[in-house]
Structure 1
Amino acid sequence: MFERERTRHRFTARPATVTTVTDVGDYVRVTLSGDTFADFASTGPTDHMRVYFPNPVTGELVAPVADGDDGITRPAAQTFGRDFTPLNVRDTGTTRSVDIDILRHADAGPAAQWGARVAVGDELVVVGPRGSASAPQDAERALLVVDGTALPAASRFVELLPESTDIDVLVYGDVTEDAARAYLGDARRYTVTEAQLELTDEARDLAPDAGTFVFAAGEASALLPLRRYLRRELGLGPAQAAVSGYWRTGVVAWDHHAPIDPFDPED
């Protein structure tokens, strides 16, 4: 339906050092860089990289290591890896830097616990992104349905979609309209709606049509009825409606590659 250029990147494990820590609304923005970041690339809004954090009890950092030019060796010991959207990839002086935004939230896991006390000089390991799929350049309209974990990905869509694309952002969970606008900034025009009803009802009111690309991501259980509406009622295939569960209530380290609908898993 919509064209999304796909690019493969060198897949490796990169030791990373924290160079800057900034508060951005409900997030801690952590800037990472390192000696192996010169060819780090992320060109798509749905890119993700696996960030490995220290053990929250012992403080030991256990993570994959680079295996040759393209590949990694995974350790036998327990790791504490979480997926993040790469943000603001840029060259700074003689090195390349990338940001991750860590959401502050209750019942903090290893990432949020680390983010609450992060300091310049702290070390992590980053794996990926393995590849990128570009923002669709031929969509007349984009509907972005996101909670706090997926708002960074929405910001990349806002950045990478053509100026000709009308953008509607539907936020749910604990994200307010004001918080979303503050996070996304005012670099271009878009609308933000704060979900008050079921996501399916809200999306129906926003009327996605044949010219609309839909990106929905966040808590998997909340997205399930919406995915069924998009797939079964509207008949939108995965090329037009990309739906991804970034986390699931009650599940530790949910794999966002896992299908959110066990009765219709294909994406």
Structure 2
Amino acid sequence: MTENLPAATRFARQRVRHRFTAREAVVTAVTSPGGPFIRVTLSGPELHDFVSDGPADHARLFFPHPLTGELVAPAPVGPDADGIVRPEAPMFPRDFTPLNMRTDPDTGLRAFDVDFLQHPEPGPASAWAAAAEAGDKLVVVGPRGSATAPQGADSLLLIVDPSALPAATRWIASVPARTEVEVVVDASPADLDWIEPYLHEHGGRAVTVTEAFGSLADAATDAGIDDGTFLFAAGEATRLIPLRRLVKYEYGLPREQFALSGYWKRGMVNFDHHAPIDPDDPED
């Protein structure tokens, strides 16, 4: 147990910067990892120095124009250089969690997976994934850096909606076996039938999975947060506002003890997850 450690030590996360550039990636496989997800495997020579060490990492994927099929995307400044050159033409980027970073044993090339959640009204990314075939190309930008999962937390509380389930699997796999993990899912009860096995299979261990009742602040209160709990929450930005206010003002948790990220915002296309979750209190 870590009750005598200060929060900065207990919840310490190693932070590393990566070379920030644009890399071409090629689809090598399209599979089904469970539920309404499509898994696309990306690889290619330009991924040789692609790194993603943190469970909250994101890479920005640039997709072809949904009507013309033209891929307009940033380009690298130069070989081994840091930075990108952005084109003037419109682009179609979306942020995703890189999964299963590895070296392909057959080709010797770096590869990773991306899980695309399918929607009743698909956007450019999910529509592209539904039609993706081996040989299709994307451009990948980032991640700029990684922050590892805290290794000293007694428990990990994940409050996520389906868009953040891929990240949740990385969190589950990144904490020590002694860390108790609970996942509260902001979804319908019927969705738990596929969410629990998805988390188990891709997180690498069985965890407690429950449905969020009421607001996400209510869900956090029901789950319980003590001095040894690290909280990660992600999903629809406005749903996260009461939770952020709870942990920051009512609980007074130290900043090291939680991480919240708005992955999307209802009514807004291509929401920037770097934007403040709470417009009335933008200070992070």
TM-score norm. by structure 2 comes to 0.91
Instruction: Tell me, yes or no, if structure 1 residue 8 matches structure 2 residue 40.
Output: no
Equivalent of 2:249 in 224, 229, 232: 232
Aligned ranges for residues 169-180 of structure 1 at < 5 Å? Answer: 169-174=183-188, 176-180=191-195
Say whether residues 1:60 and 2:74 are aligned partners. no
Q: Distance in 1 between matches of 2:120 and 2:274?
A: 24
RMSD: 1.2
Q: Given the alignment, which residue of 232, 240, 265 partners 1:248?
A: 265
Where does residue 198 of structure 1 map in the other structure? 215
Could you tell me which residue of structure 2 aligns to residue 104 of structure 1?
118
Instruction: For residue 174 of structure 1, report the CA deviation from its aligned partner.
Output: 4.9
Are 1:75 and 2:87 counterparts?
yes
Query: Within 1, Cα distance between the matches of 2:126 and 2:207?
Result: 29
Q: CA deviation at 1:107?
A: 2.1
- The amino acid of 1:117's aligned partner reads A
Residues 189-248 of structure 1, C-alpha deviations (whole Å, 9 max, x = no match): 421011132221121011101110000000011111111111111111332111110000
DSSP-derived class of the 1:112 partner: helix
Q: 1:50 and 2:60 equivalent?
A: yes
Query: How far 1:184 sits from its partner (Å)?
Result: 1.1
1:182 to 2:194 alignment: no
Where does residue 161 of structure 2 map in the other structure? Answer: 147
Gaps of 5+ in 1: none
Structure 2: distance between partners of 1:32 and 1:23: 15
User: Counting helix residues as a fraction of each chain, which structure ranks higher?
Assistant: 2
> 1:162 matched to which residue of 2?
176
Consecutive unaligned residues of structure 2, counting only runs of 5 or more, are 1-6
Farther off after superposition, 69-78 or 189-198: 189-198
Q: Is the 8 A contact 1:148 1:174 kept in 2?
A: no
Secondary structure of residue in 2 paired with 1:111: helix
Secondary structure, aligned partner of 2:101 = strand
Q: Which runs of 4+ in 1 moved over 4 A?
A: none
Q: Which amino acid aligns with 1:130?
A: R
Please state how far the C-alpha of 1:153 moved relative to its aligned partner.
0.6
The count of aligned residue pairs is: 267
Cα gap change, 1:174/1:76 in structure 2, threshold over 3 Å: closer, same or farther? farther
Percent pairwise identity: 55
Whether the aligned pair in 1 keeps the contact of 2:159 and 2:185 (CA below 8 Å) is: yes
Q: Is the 8 A contact 2:63 2:125 kept in 1?
A: yes
Q: CA deviation at 1:99?
A: 0.5
Paired residue for 2:150?
136
Distance, in Å, in 2 between the alignment partners of 1:178 and 1:236 is: 33
SS in 2 for 1:77: coil
Normalising by the residue count of structure 1, what TM-score does the alignment of the two structures yield? 0.97
| SS at structure 2 position matched to 1:196 | coil
- Provide the C-alpha distance between the structure 1 equivalents of 2:131 and 2:188, rounded to a whole number of angstroms: 23
Amino acid at match of 1:90: R
